[in-house]
């Protein structure tokens, strides 16, 4: 079944052109079925691009997914038109009393900023605490994964000597875990970040389980024992040209970036890259929706968080 979104959301046209089935609210209203309610807290600067990336992955499921886009209170987005945000997003304060089957928190370009120096850190910490009693399972992407690991477990990241940028092979560590059901023993994932948490620090927490990793990227995919928290330190949602766009952006800014590794054919930025990670990205989101959201959530959303 498809995802359900507001009728006029621009992502509908882009995804329809890819033959991705997206159901509008008006059509979904005629169906007598309990959809999965998924909220996306979009922290990325270009929110429209991120919407398309995430909705593409959520749409690859037999479940009907009712998506709600959220924004932070008192935070001004500089790269997305305010008219778009006003039309398609709700402030978190407007939904704080609601409960959701699932929540996705995206990355943010804050890899070199101390958590406590992030302008919205206090509100984000409040949202993370709120999610424990209002959401069945939360999926954290890239910066949000590290921020959540710090909030929940006190795991401080380390800043790398240079930015990790490229497409890297990941190896399965726990192949029988439902979240990676159907995964190959080795698969590719884009990464784009300055920080990582050393692997040995995870051993201090019995509730954290590494599902996939590599020597270069460190732990990539983790979850807690219940599956209510899923941490993804890479960017499986990235489009084929996202790393190229970031590379050109950094070049234009005079940062002298390293060419993304294992991305351009022959490491030649003049050659168009190939998208070699999409199948596992689809599988990751499908498994999360099925095993950690749909199978775990009560039919009555109000029952989430009840003891």
Residues belonging to the binding site for substrate are 163, 192, 249
Considering only the C-alpha atoms of the chain, give the largest distance between any 2 of them, rounded to a whole number of Å: 57
Provide the phi-psi class of 19: left if phi over 0, else alpha when psi is between -120 and 50, else beta.
left
Is there a catalytic annotation at residue 237? yes
| Positive or negative: CA dihedral 116, 121, 127, 130 | positive
- 177, 235, 246, 280: the active-site residue: 235
CA distance 267 to 262: 7
Contact 231, 223 (CB under 8 A): yes
- Take residue 199 and report the two structure tokens written for it: 């692997």
Q: How many residues does the chain have?
A: 307
DSSP 66-91: EEEEEE-TT---SSS-HHHHHHHEEE
Annotated binding site: 163, 192, 249
Report the chain's C-alpha Rg in angstroms: 19
Is there a catalytic annotation at residue 246? no
CA distance 23 to 29: 10
Any idea which residue has 């990355």 for tokens?
107
Contact 11, 73 (CB under 8 A): no
- 68, 213, 237, 246: the active-site residue: 237
**Which burial class, exposed, middle or buried, applies to 205 when counting CB atoms under 10 A from its CB (0-12, 13-18, 19+)?**
middle
- 51, 68, 142, 191: the active-site residue: 142
Q: 10 Å Cβ neighbour count for 42? A: 25
Q: Which residues are known catalytic residues?
A: 142, 235, 237
């Amino acid at each position: 079944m498809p995802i359900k979104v507001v009728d006029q959301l621009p992502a509908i046209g882009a995804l329809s052109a890819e033959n991705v089935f997206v159901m509008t609210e008006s059509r979904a209203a005629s169906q007598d079925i309990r959809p999965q309610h998924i909220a996306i807290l979009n922290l990325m600067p270009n929110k429209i691009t991120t919407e398309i990336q995430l909705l593409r992955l959520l749409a690859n499921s037999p479940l009907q997914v009712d998506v709600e886009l959220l924004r932070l209170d008192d935070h001004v987005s500089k790269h997305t038109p305010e008219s778009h945000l006003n039309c398609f997003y709700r402030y978190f304060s407007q939904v704080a009393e609601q409960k959701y089957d699932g929540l996705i928190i995206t990355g943010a370009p804050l890899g070199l900023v101390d958590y406590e120096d992030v302008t919205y850190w206090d509100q984000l910490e409040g949202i993370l605490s709120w999610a424990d009693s209002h959401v069945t399972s939360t999926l954290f992407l890239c910066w949000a994964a590290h921020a959540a690991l710090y909030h929940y477990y006190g795991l401080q990241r380390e800043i790398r000597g240079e930015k990790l940028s490229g497409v890297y092979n990941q190896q399965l560590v726990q192949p029988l875990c439902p979240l990676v059901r159907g995964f190959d023993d080795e698969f590719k994932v884009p990464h784009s970040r300055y920080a990582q948490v050393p692997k040995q620090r995870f051993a201090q927490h019995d509730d954290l389980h590494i599902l996939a990793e590599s020597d270069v990227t460190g732990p990539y995919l983790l979850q807690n024992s219940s599956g209510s928290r899923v941490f993804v330190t890479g960017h499986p949602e990235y489009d084929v040209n996202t790393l190229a766009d970031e590379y050109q952006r950094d070049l234009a800014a005079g940062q002298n970036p390293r060419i993304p590794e294992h991305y351009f054919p022959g490491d030649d930025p003049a050659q168009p890259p190939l998208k070699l990670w999409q199948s596992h990205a689809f599988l990751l989101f499908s498994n999360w929706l099925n095993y950690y959201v749909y199978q775990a959530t009560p039919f009555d959303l109000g029952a989430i968080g009840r003891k």
